[in-house]
Amino acid sequence: MSFQQGLSGLNAASKGLDVIGHNIANANTTGMKASRAEFAELYASSLTQAAGGGAGIGVVVNAISQQFTQGNITVTGNDLDVAINGSGFFQLQLTDGSMAYGRAGNFKLDESGNIITNDGAKLIGNVTDPITGAVQTGVPLTLPTGKGVAGTVTDNISLELNLDTRTAIAASTTPPTAVTTYGTSLDVYDTQGASIPVGVYFSKTAANTWDVYADYSKGGGTTSDMTTPIGSVTFDADGKYVSSTPTDPLSLTGVQVASSATAAFDIPLDLSRLTQDAKSFAVTDITQTGSAPGQLTGISIADNGDITARFSNGVTQIAGSIQLVNFRNVQGLNPQGSYWLATSESGAPVPGTPGNGNFGSLQAGALEDSTVDLTAELVNMMTAQRAYQANAQTIKTQDQVMSTLVNMR
């Protein structure tokens, strides 16, 4: 027995305790993967020795491997928290411009709208242009937090309502039924997103025939002429829509905001979903295009990584998508702080869409917990402590043997 074996055992046990301590310290670290110390025997050998005839000279820590198992997923309710359920890594651009990879999805927004980690690394993905729809791949994900979205002009209105066939012809009553008795209102928008109130009204002129009136701004403080209908709509004997005249669809002409800040425009008015039945007048649906300007109010992240932005004007847009990467040999990755770096042993990153192929899906509003099992780590710590004590005892025993030899007379 020599001191070398015991000393190597002390060093190996000490490093094993370091790994266990590191695991325990990171039991609450999001996305952390537990590590394991792997030991190997050491043998003395020479060219003239027969195979397997070398004397054992101790132990060495051969590798410290990480266990890339799936951690538990905890729901947080935060829109920017994202957990990977399965294999894959988030692709991140560090502050120095280099690329790194991680599993922790506790993201934040910076002052420019970039999705970042707590260390300032930017999340990489695909960004969609809200106007052209063009997609940029492999770039930092940015949300339109400052500029929002511009207003869009209304270029179509479609009404779904029922006109009561039991209604008397307007001119036959005393006094005549007011034009505004049966109608609805809505807001349309000009090219700058300015709101313009519009009222659409129906007045019965004959069996199965109704005149249509519209009340809206025409610029300069004027309004449309409510004494003249913009057209009429007819139904067949079964109460089904037949047509609108003089045009089908009808049109709101010369719509313009009162300040005349934008040019006047026309809006088609589709009445093809109207019915005429023996039941009370009721509006069931109003469909229109156009919107006012809006600011970002929230985001949602789908399982496939698509990021949908919600704006104060009710508009939703695809702002981009999160892209995952994977490696042929994840054990070849080089851990650096909260991230991993690619190496020649890991191979180049392979991008993919969450939920496709071997890539895990995403769960928004949740985080992946550390894979550290505290109970197992405490048991491992006691085992490593006993190994350390045993190796110390071999050194003590060797010391006693050497002392006996030295003191022989």
pTM, whole model, 2 decimals?
Answer: 0.74
In 3D space, the residue among 211, 231, 229 whose CA is nearest the CA of residue 169 turns out to be: 211
* Number of compact structural domains in the chain: 3
Residues 59 and 77 in one domain: no
Q: How far apart are CA 132 and CA 135, in angstroms?
A: 9
User: Residue 346 to residues 71, 252, 353: CA-CA distances in angstroms?
Assistant: 21, 65, 20
pLDDT confidence of residue 37: 93
User: Residue 385 carries which side chain, given as an amino acid letter?
Assistant: Q
Rounded (10°) CA dihedral 131, 135, 138, 141: 30
Q: How far apart are CA 60 and CA 294, in angstroms?
A: 63
Q: How far apart are CA 59 and CA 52, in angstroms?
A: 16
Residues 173 and 133 in one domain: no
Q: How far apart are CA 43 and CA 180, in angstroms?
A: 101
pLDDT confidence of residue 21: 95
Residues 140 and 95 in one domain: yes
Domain limit, last residue, from 288, 305, 340 = 288
Between the two ends of the chain, the Cα-to-Cα distance in Å is 22
Q: How far apart are CA 258 and CA 255, in angstroms?
A: 9
Residues 32 and 134 in one domain: no
Residues 179 and 302 in one domain: no
Number of C-beta neighbours around residue 136 at 10 A:
12
pLDDT confidence of residue 52: 53
In 3D space, the residue among 288, 240, 285 whose CA is nearest the CA of residue 268 turns out to be: 288
**Low-confidence residues of the chain, pLDDT below 70?**
1, 45-55, 130-131, 409
Domain limit, last residue, from 251, 273, 288 = 288
Residues 31 and 53 in one domain: yes
Q: How far apart are CA 225 and CA 216, in angstroms?
A: 9
Residues 92 and 184 in one domain: no
Q: Residue 259: which domain range? A: 157-288
Domain limit, last residue, from 266, 288, 310 = 288
